[in-house]
Structure 1
Amino acid sequence: MADQSSAGDGAAAGERLTTREAAERLGVKPATLYAYVSRGQLTSRRDPGGRGSTFDAAEVGALARRSRREPAPGGGGLQQIRTGITLIDGGRCWFRGVDAGELARHHHYEEIADWLWTGTLRTGTRFTAPPETLAAARRAVGALPPGSGSADRLRAAVIAAAVMDPVRFDLGRDAVLGSARIMIPTLVDALPPAAGGGPEAGGARAGAGGAGAERLIAARLWTRLTAREPDEASLRALDMALALLIDHDLAASTLAVRVAASTRAHPYAAVSAGLGALDGPLHGAASGLAHRTLTEVLERGAAGPVVADQLRSGRRVPGLGHHLYPGRDPRAEALFGALAGVPAAREALEAAHAIEAVAARRTEQWANVDLALAVLSVASGMRPEAGETVFAVARTAGWIAHALEEYEEGALRLRPSGHYTGPRPPLPLPPPAPPRP
């Protein structure tokens, strides 16, 4: 194998490498090399002689040099993690270099998810779960106690789906993609239908998507969130919300997924780690707080008193502000645009804009995606936790993308060193406590 310390250095201008040579210079397998191509990190060209693909030596060398960069001292690999999935820069959010809002406006959630994994955008992509996997997941969800939340149901469903997948421990790219295309529809279809709706209510009206449109994840998820029949604009808004929430760089739940993947946990276990982190009130549950705030504004008829109550109590106004964006969250901007075409969302949308306007006078905080998601859930008659369900289903696709990246990295690399602050050893054994009375 070529010495990686000099990979790509001194490459002649225009020099082309075979697949084997490029893989050796990078110190990876050919399958990983083509994963770099699918993620846009390398470009390939067919050999005119028909003997396979060739790669630009200078480009391979540049990637090798980037790959050799060590993390900051003491970071244990956690301070900076290379990723080619999401860039947040200049107040915008980009998926593999493409504006996330533009993607969501032109393509369905499944199409974007599959493109994020493979680098190929296939229109008409749909995800379906094997009947036996779905049946097992529904039994697991049905066995939960009454009053279980959607987060509990999703965790139960993903565990059941894992047990039904005999190749889940195969971390090859094709096997992981097969698991992902089963996992997401299982999560959705294992949820019980909303009270008053049939198991596939509204599916046949999947946003005028033509033949097979009833199989859209958005259409199936709608029936789990509300008993109302969707109109085309409402269903499109839900589909856009799923697409916009697919990924957001290294959020807490995504980091949990990557840590799990670094131990070579299978994709179902990695997603379970993400669902656990998402269950925290400061992450996935944020949209529920925004839902309740928006409902209160509609009930009281004004945003001012509600915002004042939040600020008086020392709390942040739910649905406002994001440390990664100096202004309005671009995902909220895109989703607000879609909701403007939903007649039933008019009052909720006006209330959301009023909350933003009142708060901006003092706090300089603008709407984030949780507030836009709350407009969708309030206007559609969904429960407050519906936004969390949308978030979890959507983000599963991004978690899979990050797991795929992490499987190509060195195992167990995400292991920081603790900074010990306890008493210095050696100390004597502690005395036993007196027996309890």
Structure 2
Amino acid sequence: MSWISAEQALALLGTKPQTLYANVSRGRIAARPDPSDPRRSLYRRDDVERLASRHKGRPPAKAVAAEAIAWGEPVLTTAISTVRNGRLLYRGQDAARLAETATLGGVARLLWNASAEVDFAGRARALQPGMAAAYRAVAELAATDLPANGRSLTLLLRDAARTVSFLAGALAAPGTDPVHERLARQWGRPDAADPIRRALVLLAEHELNASTFAARVTASTGAPLSAAVLAGLAALSGPLHGTASQSMAGLVEEARRLGPEAAVNAHLRRGQPLPCFGHRLYLDGDVRAPALMASFVMPPHLAALAEAGERLSGEKPNIDFALTGLTAAFGLPDDAPLTIFALARSVGWLAHALEQVETGALIRPRAHYVGVEPPVE
């Protein structure tokens, strides 16, 4: 992520400082303090260049579409969630506040507009709980469930709850208690139940991220809701999304050998962004991270790394860092972050799938062809 000075930003924009500051306040340009001089600000180059290109004239429709697909302007209408003024909102309610007391079932009630807290009880147990079992369980449902189109909301809500129950059965211990307690029991750490609960709530939904878009496109075809969750799981498996916390392993090991400050400096000198620091949607840091980290004591080596990383990069630890800290603090399995992420986000995928089914519209964007043209006859 590249940052530039106010002078450089103004030169690119060709505007007055007041216009630059107005664009920052409206969330169009990300800004952060200059690590070398906290009295000055730096501005995200990508945001400045995008606005500068607009000022040169109204861009063609294909340019607008291309920009929107990668952190650009909103492309779909939703009433489920948004990130606004540094807050993550679930149907208008602050997710960080919800995380103080809510359960995943309670958040499902909110996001799905259900009449009561959703029960994800399950008595079946996978022979080898984990992500492989999760894929198999949801794929089996997707292969046999009825299409979503033409079915009542009551039946769709039942399908949604059953899908999450199957997923929970593949990832957590069986039982009728809340899923955060079942995960804690599965991992032999009952004292981790409340932090896991918080993580599930904070990760349940995050607007139109990659996996949610995949789930929503699938739902738009009329496919079963379980198929939408399967699509979400597939997208979540990528290192730029659900497994992002695994990218921190190298940095953590380097910090153990060299010390946190030396490790961060070495990383930055290589021109690499620090893994698990910063988030494009949050100008002042990923609000989910402190909401989760407040529920446990960060291991000293990770606390030192968080301090050095923020001080030297100007970016705060994000939710992936917090999940890494949670895993280390309680000695959870290495795949715990992805397990928590997948189970939590399935609720958000289903909220979007339900909303998309209600529209009855197929999501079918066009591609801008840049390949070989046929010969002129």
Kept in 2, the 8 Å contact 1:128–1:182? The answer is: no
Kept in 2, the 8 Å contact 1:151–1:279? The answer is: no
| Matched residue, 1:115 | 110
2:369 aligned with 1:420, yes or no?
A: yes
Distance, in Å, in 2 between the alignment partners of 1:154 and 1:316 is 32
| Matched residue, 2:120 | 127
Aligned with residue 190 of structure 2, among 227, 230, 233: 230
Distance, in Å, in 2 between the alignment partners of 1:268 and 1:295 is 38
Residue identity opposite 1:91 in structure 2: G
| Matched residue, 1:389 | 339
Residue identity opposite 1:284 in structure 2: G
2:167 aligned with 1:187, yes or no?
A: yes
**Secondary structure of residue in 2 paired with 1:88:** strand
Kept in 2, the 8 Å contact 1:292–1:384? The answer is: no
Kept in 2, the 8 Å contact 1:287–1:385? The answer is: no
- Shift, 1:361, TM fit: 2.9
Distance, in Å, in 1 between the alignment partners of 2:353 and 2:148 is 13
Aligned with residue 212 of structure 2, among 251, 254, 257: 254
Structure 1 pair 393/295, CA: closer, same or farther in 2 (3 Å)? farther
Distance, in Å, in 2 between the alignment partners of 1:117 and 1:222 is 25
Percent of aligned positions that are identical: 35
Distance, in Å, in 2 between the alignment partners of 1:403 and 1:265 is 10
Aligned with residue 325 of structure 1, among 282, 286, 303: 282
Kept in 2, the 8 Å contact 1:85–1:401? The answer is: yes
The answer for unaligned runs of 5 or more in structure 1 is 1-71, 143-149, 194-198, 204-213, 340-344, 429-437
Aligned with residue 183 of structure 2, among 221, 229, 253: 221
- Shift, 1:367, TM fit: 1.1
Cα distance per residue 1:178-218 (max 9 Å; x no partner): 11211212212224x7xxxxx56xx7xxxxxxxxxx61101
Q: Structure 1 residues 357-366 or 304-313, which shifts more?
A: 304-313
Structure 1 pair 294/120, CA: closer, same or farther in 2 (3 Å)? farther
Q: CA RMSD in A?
A: 2.8
TM-score by length of 2: 0.74
Kept in 2, the 8 Å contact 1:254–1:399? The answer is: yes
2:362 aligned with 1:405, yes or no?
A: no
Distance, in Å, in 2 between the alignment partners of 1:426 and 1:183 is 51
Matches within 5 A, 1:4-403: 73-74=61-62, 75=65, 80-118=75-113, 120=115, 122=117, 125-129=118-122, 134=124, 138=126, 150-163=130-143, 165=145, 171-191=151-171, 199=173, 215-224=177-186, 226=187, 228-231=188-191, 234-290=192-248, 293-294=251-252, 297=255, 299-300=256-257, 302-339=259-296, 345-346=297-298, 348=299, 350-403=300-353
Distance, in Å, in 1 between the alignment partners of 2:92 and 2:223 is 29
Task: Give the length in aligned residue pairs.
Answer: 311
Kept in 2, the 8 Å contact 1:261–1:403? The answer is: yes
Structure 1 pair 272/151, CA: closer, same or farther in 2 (3 Å)? same
Q: Structure 1 residues 375-384 or 310-319, which shifts more?
A: 310-319
Kept in 1, the 8 Å contact 2:180–2:197? The answer is: yes
Distance, in Å, in 2 between the alignment partners of 1:243 and 1:282 is 21
**Secondary structure of residue in 1 paired with 2:88:** strand
Structure 1 pair 82/114, CA: closer, same or farther in 2 (3 Å)? same
The answer for unaligned runs of 5 or more in structure 2 is 1-59
Cα distance per residue 1:77-131 (max 9 Å; x no partner): 9752000111101111110001001111121111111221025464xx53124x6
Residue identity opposite 2:104 in structure 1: Y
Q: Structure 1 residues 163-172 or 367-376, which shifts more?
A: 163-172
Greater Rg by CA = 1
**Secondary structure of residue in 2 paired with 1:93:** strand
Distance, in Å, in 2 between the alignment partners of 1:187 and 1:326 is 34
Structure 1 pair 223/160, CA: closer, same or farther in 2 (3 Å)? farther
Distance, in Å, in 1 between the alignment partners of 2:249 and 2:148 is 37
Cα distance per residue 1:194-247 (max 9 Å; x no partner): xxxxx56xx7xxxxxxxxxx61101112244x3x3322xx21000110000001
- Shift, 1:265, TM fit: 1.2
Kept in 2, the 8 Å contact 1:260–1:269? The answer is: yes
- Shift, 1:262, TM fit: 1.0
